[in-house]
Amino acid sequence: MTLKVINPFNNEVVSEYPEMTEIEVKDILESVQEEYLRWRKTSFEHRKKLMFNAAKVLRENKDRYAKIMALEMGKPIVDGRAEIEKCAWVCEYYAEEAENQLKSEIIETDASKSFISYQPLGIILAVMPWNFPFWQALRFIAPTLMAGNGGVLKHASNVPGSALAIEEVFHQAGFPKNIFRTLLVGSRKVNAIIENPIIKAVTLTGSGFAGRAVASKAGGMLKRSLLELGGSDPYVILEDANIEETVLTCVSSRMINSGQSCIAAKRFIVVESQLKKFEELYVYNMKNRKMGDPLRENVSVGPQARHDLRDELHEQVQNSIAKGAKVLLGAEIPDDKGAFYPPTVLSDVRKGMPAYDEELFGPVAAIIPVKDEAEAKRVANDTVFGLGAAVFTEDLKKGERIATQELEAGACFVNAYVRSDPRLPFGGIKESGYGRELSYYGIREFTNVKTIYIR
């Protein structure tokens, strides 16, 4: 079997990679385990130096890595460069903060000395998606290696070039060859990898279906897991929101990565008094998004990552229209061989429509009209997902209260779009997963939180 990369812009084969055999995977895992036994004993100062090197390598190769993403999954080149910059940031963040984040904590007890120690857990498997090929992997690798663990990456099958480039980053930075490795395998081999006793934990970013499968297997093996799954983030627009600034923020969030982001705004819940102006401005700003070749500097909307994903999105849109949603913009597949889907705006979206109930992973905005704040909060929480949410209001105290106490999500923002930040924990609740990445929570997820008691 081969992993075939098809450029979603022109439907041409970019490259093909032979899938690794079970023996090759086993040999890699054993090599990583052997290296880990040495790596775990290295100093934070040593790891810090190498992680800063990784940030440097990323920046020096920013254009090349951005081009790989554009060819493999259609990410606009300008977005790809920004993604690499963010990857360099997360490397620098953990290089600076890891030692302090994993510092032993003295706890006063009846012992002469008692404390909590954060020790490496072992080899961590990451099962990562295609939509942010570098960022999703780097936000796992940086804390994992700084904590003294080893890592292996099973990336999405349509981005093997990105996966190998990530491995290259750490080799060029001076890390031991086998402390982090990429496994070029399809999803059907993941269970066998989890079963290998060398793997101590697994982290997955992806669909609910994939998350359930991995969590079930890891749980059956009594291994720790972390899941970051889908989202249908609600953005609540209240009566006193600054509508011009709100619309710009909402459009920017919805169109992140050509709409293919778990934490992109998906459902815009707008009170009646703001509805007409919100719709007019939203459509105007969506029309100004240029769609085309992701390698062109002036393009902000590339193709969807694969034709089948584009077709699934279109089916969700058409089913919503059939159930009464009103088309304000887009909703038609362009006559192009690329996997393009146009910026689309649906209004009058109601419960029972895919645009209300499901995650639409593409450049489609669902506007849901509500009478007042109370209904807006109810609709925002009326979802199986709980990754991110935002509220827009000029009353910052009210916004803080709603975000803190009343919106059901792992990250809630006021007058800003939801984003990940190395300094803040990131993750969801409900069917958006469990566990936290980033911040000190993220680096501690895959450590042995060890109690030490000395009489």
Residues classed as catalytic: 228, 262
Tell me if residue 16 falls in helix, strand or coil. Answer: strand
For residues 234, 247, 207 and 347, what is the CA-based torsion angle, rounded to 10 degrees? 70
CA 404 to CA 14: how far, in whole Å? Answer: 46
Do the Cβ atoms of 247 and 390 come closer than 8 Å? no
Do the Cβ atoms of 356 and 321 come closer than 8 Å? no
Residue 20 DSSP class: P
CA 208 to CA 386: how far, in whole Å? Answer: 12
CA 72 to CA 68: how far, in whole Å? Answer: 6
Work out whether strand 265-271 and strand 233-237 pair parallel, antiparallel, or are unpaired. parallel
Q: Among candidates 143, 139, 189, 137, which has minimal Cα distance to 165?
A: 137
CA 418 to CA 249: how far, in whole Å? Answer: 10
Amino acid letter for position 97 = E
Residues 6+ apart with CB under 8 A from 448: 118, 119, 120, 121
Q: Could you tell me which residues are beta bridge partners of residue 105? A: 116
Length of the chain: 455
Do the Cβ atoms of 329 and 344 come closer than 8 Å? yes
Work out whether strand 13-18 and strand 2-6 pair parallel, antiparallel, or are unpaired. antiparallel
How many helical (H) and strand (E) elements, i.e. helices and strands, does the chain have?
Answer: 15, 18
Q: Among candidates 247, 351, 340, 334, which has minimal Cα distance to 300?
A: 340
Do the Cβ atoms of 249 and 278 come closer than 8 Å? no
